[in-house]
Structure 1
Amino acid sequence: MGTVSLPDTWVYALRLPHDPRAARVARMTVRAVLNGHGRQEVLDTVELLTSELVGNTYRHTRGPASLRLTALADGRLRVGVWDSHPGIPAPFGEPPWDRVAVPSADAEEGRGLHLVQAYADSWGALAIGDGPVDRGAGKLLWFEVGGGRAGGEGARMA
């Protein structure tokens, strides 16, 4: 009789209040989870991109957000951030999703989604609430890292 080795998969979810400290809480959570699972090779990238997406939920919505970390069986790590705003920004939305303008050197904001495009292996979005009952329930933005490709070669996936 052979032994079966289960894949190293896991999921963590965190509900975040509409609070300026939410991005910091998300970074601390990511760091604790990835350190606990021995995933230091993706820690800096995941921490940076998660912080950017969660920070955007505070800046562009008035409601809570949710963070979900999922380790997939093939070694990829998927990070999803839900918020209550229905708008899907580039590079997650409709074409030209492959082009996020690089902000000027003196710009004080606008780098976060460019960073997702540059460092995630893949990314995508899902509008929540396409039905008549749940219309306007927000969106889920996600990205994946650890798929074996170097950052900067990412591709949007539906």
Structure 2
Amino acid sequence: MLECESDEPWEYTLYIPNDVRAVTVSRRTLRLILTMHGLIRLGDVAELLAAELVSNAVRHTKGPAALRVRWSAGVLRIGAWDADPEPPEPPGSFEQAGDSEEGRGLALVRACSDLWGWQPLTRDGNRGKYVWCELTSAA
């Protein structure tokens, strides 16, 4: 396993089209980023969380999206930007979703991350939102 050479913060942004295949591209890109920074131990959970966030961004909006990954002070933040300014549906529980495959994404994000949230964004006249979660490294 590669060792992290430095505790210096870093950040990557992957801009993706509105295409369901972007979820797979995002997961594989995230895995590569974590491997190269010696954080592969966070890979499985981070991939799951990224897939849920990107999937929501692609499935529930019509425009482009982006995956953003940031490491700082032992915290990995994974977020998805999309062009829809509407807030995400509040996460329910797995029991509320029943057998339905819909409505479990943010419940999964809430259950598997240390912290999660969202914020509206306005930039260059474009509106949208950023939904994020954090994993704290237990190195």
TM-score normalized with structure 1 length: 0.76
Structure-2 separation of matches of 1:14 and 1:143: 16
Q: Does 1:142 align with 2:135?
A: no
For residue 116 of structure 2, the aligned residue among 109, 117, 123 is: 123
Contact 2:92–2:103 under 8 Å retained in 1: no
Rate the CA distance shift 1:88–1:41 in 2: closer, same or farther, 3 A: same
Give the share of equivalent positions with the same residue, in percent.
Answer: 42
Rate the CA distance shift 1:59–1:6 in 2: closer, same or farther, 3 A: closer
Structure-2 separation of matches of 1:111 and 1:6: 36
Aligned match of 1:101: 93
Structure that is richer in strand per residue: 2
Q: Does 1:20 align with 2:20?
A: yes
Which amino acid letter does the alignment assign opposite residue 68 of structure 2? R
Structure-1 separation of matches of 2:15 and 2:30: 13
Aligned length: 133
Shift of 1:105: 3.8
Cα RMSD, aligned residues only: 2.1
Contact 2:18–2:62 under 8 Å retained in 1: yes
Structure-1 separation of matches of 2:70 and 2:30: 11
Shift of 1:6: 6.0
Aligned match of 2:40: 40
Rate the CA distance shift 1:108–1:80 in 2: closer, same or farther, 3 A: closer
Which amino acid letter does the alignment assign opposite residue 110 of structure 1? G
Structure-1 separation of matches of 2:110 and 2:89: 9
Structure that is richer in helix per residue: 2
Which amino acid letter does the alignment assign opposite residue 101 of structure 1? S
Contact 1:82–1:141 under 8 Å retained in 2: yes
Structure-2 separation of matches of 1:11 and 1:75: 13
